């Protein structure tokens, strides 16, 4: 009897360990609906998904970096840089669908280049990821501010601006891109050799070397994926807003992206994480942000809430390991 009790308890632990993030999200939605009935309206749910998509896409890229044992603090400033770059390109080419395509390809290409450069500096230059990406944060923001003289980049293309506001089957485009991007990232991380290498490098770098894994290239490619993720988010955000503020666009995105990944179970020390967890972690953040607004919690206190959530999530990870 005692053995059966222990086995049932272990089964419950296993279920919560696998689906705990979904259970937490459901509980949050129920509590939020009780505190504010308007929370459960379809329009508000879609709005949460919409607003979460931009950070969520970036968090997916950050998950690859963190599982491999890295960190990227430059993503917020990079959003502003790539968004401004996309707007500049589309304005230069003209208000045509071709110009939109050129802007998208150019922004993604620059994201790949920046991600590759970051990974190269970390792996070949032997500079800590924290230092490289912190420097990148300052450099990218400085460039955006300089070229706009501290002002705003405005899109002159109606076709580009309408892209970010478009709906497909009644759902906002950023939401669909977020879901599709998460599915593709999940397949890459869990069903390819590269994905297995990412986990191996983060879990034990020395053992990975002895297993003939090119650790440097794996880490470089995780930063390339992060760069692509930022580019996708920057394109969607800049087209939706029709502009990019050189001083405020992307501010705090690095904290939100890391928080979403950590809430979803990604370890800051590497070797552990999932796209599934990050996806729902981003939604949990979105629900919390939305609820704080509905309850009229001061904007200045919302950062404190996010900080406490990150600390709590890491604490739970440590306790579960013990």
What domains are there in the chain, each with its CATH number? Answer: 41-321 (1.10.3470)
3-state helix, strand, coil in the chain (%, to 5): 80, 5, 20
Please, what is the Cα angle at 314 between 46 and 195, to 5 degrees? 70
* Per-residue model confidence as pLDDT tens digits over 76-99: 999 999 999 999 999 998 878 888
Identify the pLDDT of residue 25.
85
Identify the pLDDT of residue 168.
83
Dist CA 224 CA 8 (whole Å): 44
Residue 171 DSSP SS3 = strand
Q: Residue 298 — φ and ψ, nearest 5°?
A: -55, 135
Paired tokens of 229 = 């993720």
172, containing H or E segment? strand 171-172
Dist CA 152 CA 207 (whole Å): 49
pLDDT tens for the chain, 322 residues long, are: 455 554 544 454 444 455 678 888 888 888 888 888 888 888 899 999 999 999 999 999 999 999 999 999 999 999 999 999 999 999 998 878 888 999 999 999 999 999 999 999 999 999 999 999 999 999 999 999 998 888 899 988 888 888 877 888 888 999 999 999 999 999 999 999 999 999 999 999 999 988 989 999 999 999 999 999 999 999 999 999 889 998 899 998 998 999 899 988 898 888 999 999 999 999 999 988 888 888 777 777 777 877 777 777 767 666 665 5
Give yes or no for a contact between 51 and 226, defined as CB atoms under 8 angstroms apart: no
Paired tokens of 171 = 């759902």
Q: Residue 172 — φ and ψ, nearest 5°?
A: -65, 140
Identify the pLDDT of residue 10.
45
* Per-residue model confidence as pLDDT tens digits over 7-62: 544 454 444 455 678 888 888 888 888 888 888 888 899 999 999 999 999 999 99
Using CA atoms, how far residue 97 sits from 156, 169, 173, in Å, is: 13, 21, 17
Q: Residue 17 — φ and ψ, nearest 5°?
A: -65, -35
Dist CA 202 CA 133 (whole Å): 18
């Amino acid at each position: 009897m005692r053995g059966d009790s222990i086995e049932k308890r272990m089964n419950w632990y296993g279920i919560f360990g696998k689906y705990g993030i979904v259970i937490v999200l459901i509980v949050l939605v129920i509590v939020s609906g009780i505190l504010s009935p308007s929370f459960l309206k379809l329009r508000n749910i879609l709005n949460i998904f919409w607003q979460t998509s931009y950070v969520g896409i970036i968090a997916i890229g950050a998950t690859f970096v963190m599982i491999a044992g890295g960190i990227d603090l430059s993503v917020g400033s990079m959003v502003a840089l790539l968004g401004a770059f996309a707007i500049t390109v589309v304005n230069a080419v003209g208000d045509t669908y071709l110009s939109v395509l050129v802007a998208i390809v150019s922004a993604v290409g620059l994201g790949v280049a920046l991600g590759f450069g970051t990974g190269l500096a970390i792996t070949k230059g032997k500079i800590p990821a924290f230092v490289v990406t912190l420097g990148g944060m300052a450099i990218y923001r400085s460039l955006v501010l300089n070229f706009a003289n501290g002002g705003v980049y405005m899109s002159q293309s109606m076709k580009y601006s309408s892209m970010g506001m478009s709906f497909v089957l009644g759902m906002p485009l950023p939401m669909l891109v977020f879901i599709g991007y998460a599915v593709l990232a999940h397949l890459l991380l869990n069903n390819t050799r590269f994905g297995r290498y990412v986990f191996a490098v983060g879990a034990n770098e020395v053992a990975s070397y002895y297993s003939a894994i090119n650790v440097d290239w794996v880490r470089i490619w995780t930063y390339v994926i992060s760069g692509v993720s930022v580019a996708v988010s920057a394109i969607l955000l800049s087209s939706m807003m029709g502009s990019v503020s050189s001083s405020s666009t992307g501010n705090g995105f690095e904290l939100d992206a890391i928080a979403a990944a950590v809430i979803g179970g990604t370890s800051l020390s590497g070797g552990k994480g999932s796209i599934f967890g990050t996806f729902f972690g981003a939604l949990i953040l979105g629900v919390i942000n939305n609820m704080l607004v509905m309850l009229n919690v001061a904007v200045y206190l919302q950062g404190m809430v996010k900080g406490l959530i990150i600390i709590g999530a890491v604490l739970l990870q440590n306790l579960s390991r013990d």
